[in-house]
Amino acid sequence: MTSSLENCLQVIRPLVKALQAYHVADAARLIKLDAMENPYQLSGDLKAELQVRLGEAALNRYPDPSAARLRDRLRQVMQVPEDKAIVLGNGSDELIQMLAMAVAPDDGSKVSLLSFDPGFVMYKMIADFTGIHYAGVSLNADFSLDMPATREAIKKHRPAIIFIAYPNNPSANCYNEKEIIEIIETAPGMVVLDEAYHPFAQSSFMPHLTDYDNLLVMRTVSKMGLAGLRLGLLCGHPDIIEQIDKIRLPYNINVLTQVAAEFVLDNIDELDKQAALIREQRSDLLKKMQAMDSIKTFPSDANFILFRVLNKNAGDVFESIKQQGVLIKNMKADAGLLKNCLRVTVGTPAENDAFISALIKAMKSEK
C-alpha cells in the first residue's frame, strides 16, 4: 500500500525534486566574508532612535500594501525618474521570481530568459522552477561580454527577459556601457539591469530609463548595509511595472521593514559614508592581494574580490582559511572561468587583515 508520504512526494514536480536548494554556509564563530554584506552597523545614536521607531510600529495591523511612503523615499534616494514606476520585493530574489512568473508559458510554448555565465545563480534557478528555458552566454576570459555570442543568442532564443548584473556577481566587474546599450536596443523583450552593488560601482543605468521603455533597473538595500531587511525595488515603465505588480503577494513588505527602511533612508548620509569606507578598503585589499604571486586577483567594482589560486587547490586553501576563523566563498569550479577561484567580501580593516594573514598562511602550507 502506498503511504500518504509517498503520495505527497509523487505530486511534487520532478523538476523541483532535481533542484539543489540554495546553500547558505554556517558562519557561527567565524569572521563572515562570504556573502557581500556591509560589515558596519548603524551608529549608536541612530540605533537608539530606530529602536524607538520600531517600538511604535503597529504590529497588530497589516502593513501598507503598496508601501507608498517607502517607495517615495526610495525614489528620491535612488534618483528614479519621476515618470517611472516602482514595485518593491522581499529582496531582489522575489523581484526576479515575479518577473519570471510574469513571462512563464502557460500553453507549453518555449519562453527564454537570457543571462551571462558565470553570473548570479538565482537567474537560472528561478528560470528552471518557473518552466522557462535558461539561455546562458559565456563571458570572455576576462569576464567581459562576448558580443558576437550575445548577438547570436538573442537572435536564436528571442528572450523575453535579459538579466545583466552590473557589476556582475561573482566576477565583480561592470560590463562595457556601449555593449549594454546595444543589447537594450536589440532585445526583443525586457532588459533588467541588476544594480545590487551600485553603492560600490557608482555607475548606473537608472538615467537611461527615460531613453528605453524595455529597460528595467533593479536595486536592493542589502549591500548598503540593510541585508536583514530583505528589500529590493524594480523600476521601469509604468505599464510594465503594473503587470509585474499584479503578481506581487499582498503585504510582501512587512511593517518593521517599512519603518526601518524609511528611517535609515532619512539618514542616508551614514550609509554613504560606510560605502566610501568600503571602497577605500577594497583598494587597499586589492593592493595587498595583487602583491602575492601565488594568486591572480581580478579587478572589482563591487564590495567583493574574486581571485584564483595558482599553485594549490582552492578547496584546500578555503578550508585552511576557514580553520583560521575566516569564512570566504569557495566557487567550487574544477573547470571554466571560475576554475580554482575563491571570493572574499571586503570587510573592516581588522577583518581584511585577518583574511590576508590567513590567506598568506594557507598559501605557505604544505598541503
* The two domains 4-43+269-364 and 59-267 share their CATH topology (first three levels equal): no
Which amino acid is it at 330?
Answer: N
Which of 340, 128, 86 minimizes the C-alpha distance to 235? Answer: 86
Checking if the pLDDT of 281 tops 70, the result is: yes
Strand partners, 355: none
Q: Which CATH superfamily is domain 4-43+269-364 in?
A: Aspartate Aminotransferase, domain 1 (3.90.1150.10)
Instruction: pLDDT band for 2, please (50, 70, 90 cuts).
Output: low
CATH dotted code for 59-267: 3.40.640.10
CA distances from 5 to 9, 216, 266, 333 (A): 6, 43, 51, 36
Mean pLDDT of 285-305: 97
Output the DSSP codes for 179-214. Answer: HHHHHHHH-SSEEEEE-TTHHHH---SGGGGGT-TT
What residue segments make up the domains of the chain, in order of their start? 4-43+269-364, 59-267
Which of 351, 366, 359, 367 minimizes the C-alpha distance to 30? Answer: 351
Question: 3-state class of 251 per DSSP?
Answer: coil
* Displacement of CA 300 from its chain's centroid (Å): 15
The reported pTM is 0.94
Checking if the pLDDT of 20 tops 90, the result is: no
pLDDT at 289: 98
Instruction: pLDDT band for 14, please (50, 70, 90 cuts).
Output: confident
pLDDT in tens, 36-70: 999 999 999 999 999 999 999 999 999 999 999 99
Mean pLDDT of 283-303: 97
Mean pLDDT of 30-40: 95
Checking if the pLDDT of 359 tops 60, the result is: yes
Q: pLDDT above 70 covers what percent of the chain?
A: 99
Question: Could you tell me the end-to-end alpha-carbon distance of the chain, in angstroms, rounded to an integer?
Answer: 53
Checking if the pLDDT of 1 tops 60, the result is: no
Q: pLDDT above 90 covers what percent of the chain?
A: 86
pLDDT in tens, 73-99: 999 999 999 999 999 999 999 999 999
Specify whether the CB–CB gap between 98 and 81 falls below 8 A.
no
